[in-house]
Every structure is written in C-alpha cells, then in structure tokens.
Structure 1
Amino acid sequence: MSRFNLYLLLITTVIAILSSTSKSIRFELESGNTKCIAEDIKSNSMTVGKYSIVNPHDGQPLPDSYKLTVRVTSSYGNNYHHSELVESGQFAFTASEAGDYMACFWAADHKPAVTLNIDFDWKTGVAAKDWTNVAKKGSVDVFYYEGNEAVEFKASLGLGLVDRSEEILLLRFLWKTEADTDSSTCHLLFHNTTLLSDVMELELKKMYDTVISVQEEMNYLREREEEMQDLNTSTNVKMAWLSFLSIVVCLSVAGLQVWHLKTFFQKKKLI
C-alpha cells in the first residue's frame, strides 16, 4: 500500500471517529400531559442537556400552542433547572449528589389537543466535556491539477471540535471532474505535518478521559455494590431477629394457652 493510501486511510478513520454525533432521543408529548426521563448520575459528574420542539412546518414560526415547561430535579428533590413556556432550552450543572436525576416535560394545555415532537439530548461524564478548548489548530494545503497548472488553495472548515470562524483543518479531496470521483487521482501535499499529530493527540486525550471515566464508573459501581451488600446483610440480620422473636412469641402464646386450658380443666375437675 502506497504512502498516500496509508495517509488517506488514517485520515478517514480519524475523521470518522471525530465526526461521530451524540445520541439523542425524540418523543411525543400531548398537550396537557407530562413525561419524565431519568438518568443515574454520580456525584461531581458534569451533565449537559438540550431540548427543543420540532417544528412541523419548516420555514415557519412555531404556533403559540407549542410551549414546554421543563424541570430537572435530583432524587432528593433539589431543583437544578426550571423553564416555563419555552420552545427550546438547555441546562448544565455538576451533580452534587449521586442518584437518579429526573427531567420532566410538561406541555401547556390546549384545545384542541396537539402533539409535540421533542428532541432531547442528555450527556453526562466525559461525553459532556467541551472539547472545543482542547482541540489544537492546524492547516492543510491542498493541490489539485488541471492540465499542467497547479492551483493552490486553503480550505477552512471545522471538524466539529473547533470554532468554525478559525482557519483550521480541512481535508477535502478534489478531483478534476465528477467522473474522477471514483478514482484516486487526487494529490495531497501536507505542508503542516503537525495537523495529523494534533488530531491524533486530541483523540488520545478523549480516549484517556474515557478510560478514566470508565474506571471511575467501575469504582462507583463497586461502592454501590458494597452498599447493597451491607444493606442485604443488615436486612438478613433484621429478618433473622424478627423470625426469632416471632418463634418466641408463638411459643409463649402456645404455652399460655396450654396453661390456661390445664387450669380450666382442673377447675372443672375434668383432669
């Protein structure tokens, strides 16, 4: 495999990894109803959420009836976000307590009833980290040939990790004609070889943070497991004492009944 093909394969792989989008959910909510979504978040973990009502008519403003009230609370009842009668919004906070956090959506009541489609994206932990300030900047000079003349230009487009207003990376493969798109007749000359290493360094940082996050999650799960084991042991001990006391009470009642019957029969001179 030629050096160019190796470069092409490596760059394509990096871009595919970096351009992966975050997963979000879309759900329906009828006016006058409430829907809640829970997320288990450990303490000192960053969380970011975005929500918006999907416009059923592109290019037109949302109807007045398309309004949401959103509240985010912890399992202890603490309020972390509250917005009333909005079309979209976002929240970000660092969880001060571990447990289930609840995001509740309430659609304003309206007659006749309408059904809202809501996009909701909720990230926690390393997925919520802003990599914009982490990414380094570089540039690539791209050449393509038309006849005997070489035309040089710079592309400025973001990777989704950096500000688009900056002149950053751009890997754009140009062909002389549309017919050439199925061939590999493109020429790339890297005048700034640090770009690829910067991108790889950023990806390694993301992988490192992901590994740290997984380790913290495993430690958190281990702590929860120990708590559950302690709770299970405590419950078993309590149930053992309860069973023992139940047996003692039953034997005491049985003995009392035998004594009462014996006394009764003796008084009646039956025994």
Structure 2
Amino acid sequence: MTLAASPLRCFYAIFVATLLLIAPANAIKFEIQAYRYPPAKCIWNTARKGELVIVTANVGPGEGQRLDVEIVDSGPEKNVYLNKRGIVGEARFAITAHNDEGDVGVCFRNYLDVAEGGKPKTRVIDLDVDIGADAVDYNAIANQESLSALETEMRKLEGVVKEIVDELNYLKKREERFQSTNMSTHSRVQTFAWFTLFSLVGLGIWQIFHLRAFFKRKYLID
C-alpha cells in the first residue's frame, strides 16, 4: 500500500507544483511619494464576476504622511468596493468582484500632512493580491474539516482546476461573441457592397438614358 501510494502522491505533488509555478504572481513592492494633493497609484489585476479578491498591504513607516487606499474596478459602473483612510502596518481587505469583465484596481494616495522643504518623503508598500483559488485559506479549511496534507493539496488542486475550467469557458464565450461580431460585420459589409454595386449600375443606366435624351434634343442621334 505504501509503495503504491507513494508514486501517486509524488504525481499529485508535481502536478500541483507545476500549476502553482504557471500561476501569475500578484505580489509587488514599491515606493510611493507623499504630496499635498497626491495622484492615485493603482495596481490592476484581472478578476471576473463572483471571484474572491484578498488584498494584503504591508505599509512601511512614514512620518508626516497619511496613506489612503481605494479598491475599484474598470467596469462601466466604476464600482468602489472599499475606501480606507490612514492605513498603517499590515492591512488585509477582502472583496468580491461584481464586474463581468475587466480589472480590479488597488489605488493608493500618499498625503503629506505637513508641508516641509528638503528631501521628498516616501514610504514603502508591500502589496499582495490573491484572486480566486489563491485567495482561499486552505489551512483554515483543513483545520475545520480535519483534512490530511494530501487531502488539502487535492482541495487546492480542485480549486485551481475549477479556475482553469472557468477561464476556458470564459475564453470560449469571448470567442463565440467575437465570431458573432465578425459574422455580423461580414454581413453588413456584404450588404453595403451589393448596395454600392446596384447603385453604380442604376447610376450608369440613368446616365445612358440621360445622354440619349440630350443627344436627341441636339439632333445628334435619331
């Protein structure tokens, strides 16, 4: 039993590791400068409707600075999911995307509380955005349901595979929509081409009859 289960366990471990390696990394570390009227610095990630988005921001120290965060999407409605002022240290936010298509943006504004001369003030932000299966806390699920390590990995694999299937279905729907748009455009272009052709033929026939009548009035032809 042990020898038979070992290769299977290795296969699952390798497969999960491969999926995790090809998954996009959503962690970023950057500096943001403080201004009296700061522009928004936004980090965008793709998230479909109904997906869970976990945002973890580790904000470095910044004397005389106030950091505000806003989570929005790029949809036509411009949904604002969250707006927090004066975040410090480690902050964690969870939202569910409402937009069918588009991105979710985490926007920061670093306000300078006191205007001082000299060197510009900045602070460091370590941002981590987990979306979909990556946002699920499988350790909490394992503790709650008393899952073994292999069962936990299988649950993770199930979530990743479901996400891949959803992505493929989404791409299929987009392909069908693009194909429908392509066929509609082709039909309109074809209709316009036939209209142009019939218009040119009609205009040519009209010119023939018009010139014939003109020549008859001038007695150039019988």
Does 1:135 pair with 2:124? no
Give the TM-score normalised by the residue count of structure 2.
0.66
Cα distance 1:109–1:94, how it changes in 2: closer, same or farther (>3 A)?
Answer: closer
Q: Which residue does the alignment assign to 2:52? A: 46
- Hey, what's the Cα distance between the residues in 1 that align with 2:205 and 2:123? 69
Q: Distance in 2 between matches of 1:214 and 1:34?
A: 32
Q: 2:107 aligns with which of 87, 101, 105?
A: 105
Q: 1:256 to 1:79 in 2, by over 3 A?
A: same
2:169 is the alignment partner of 1:219: yes
From the superposition, tell whether residues 259 and 218 of structure 1 become closer, same or farther in structure 2 (CA, over 3 Å).
Answer: same
| Structure showing the higher helix proportion among its residues | 2
1:230 maps to 180
Gaps of 5+ in 2: 1-5
Matched, 1:247 2:194: no
Match of 1:121 among 110, 128, 131: 128
What TM-score do the two structures reach when normalised by structure 1? 0.56
Distance 1:263 1:28 in 2: 82
Indicate conservation of the 8 Å contact 2:97/2:104, yes or no. no
Partner Cα separation in structure 2 for residue 65 and residue 258 of structure 1:
82
Q: Answer whether contact 2:72 2:106 (CA < 8 A) is retained.
A: yes
| Higher Cα Rg, which structure | 1
CA contact (8 A) 1:42 1:95 kept: yes
Q: Which residue of 2 aligns with 1:62?
A: 62
Shift, 1:221, TM fit: 2.0
- The amino acid that maps onto 1:46 is L
Once the two structures are TM-superposed, the CA of residue 105 in structure 1 deviates from its matched residue by 2.2
Residues 48-197 of structure 1 aligned to structure 2 (within 5 Å) = 48-53=54-59, 55=60, 61-83=61-83, 85-87=85-87, 89-103=91-105, 105-108=107-110, 117-136=124-143
1:26 to 26, 29, 35: 29
Deviation at 1:233? 1.7
Q: CA deviation at 1:130?
A: 1.8
Q: Are the counterparts in 1 of residues 32 and 110 from structure 2 also a CA contact under 8 Å?
A: no
Letter in 2 for 1:200: L
Superposed displacement of residue 72, structure 1? 1.0
CA distance in 1, matches of 2:141, 2:161: 17
Contact 1:80-1:93 within 8 A present in 2 as well = no
Structure 1 counterpart SS, 2:138: coil
Q: Aligned residues: percent identity?
A: 23
| Preserved CA contact (<8 Å) 1:69 1:84 | yes
RMSD value, Cα: 3.7
SS of the equivalent of 1:133 reads helix
SS for the counterpart of 1:217 is: helix
Considering Cα pairs closer than 8 Å and 6+ residues apart, tell me whether 1 or 2 has the greater RCO.
2
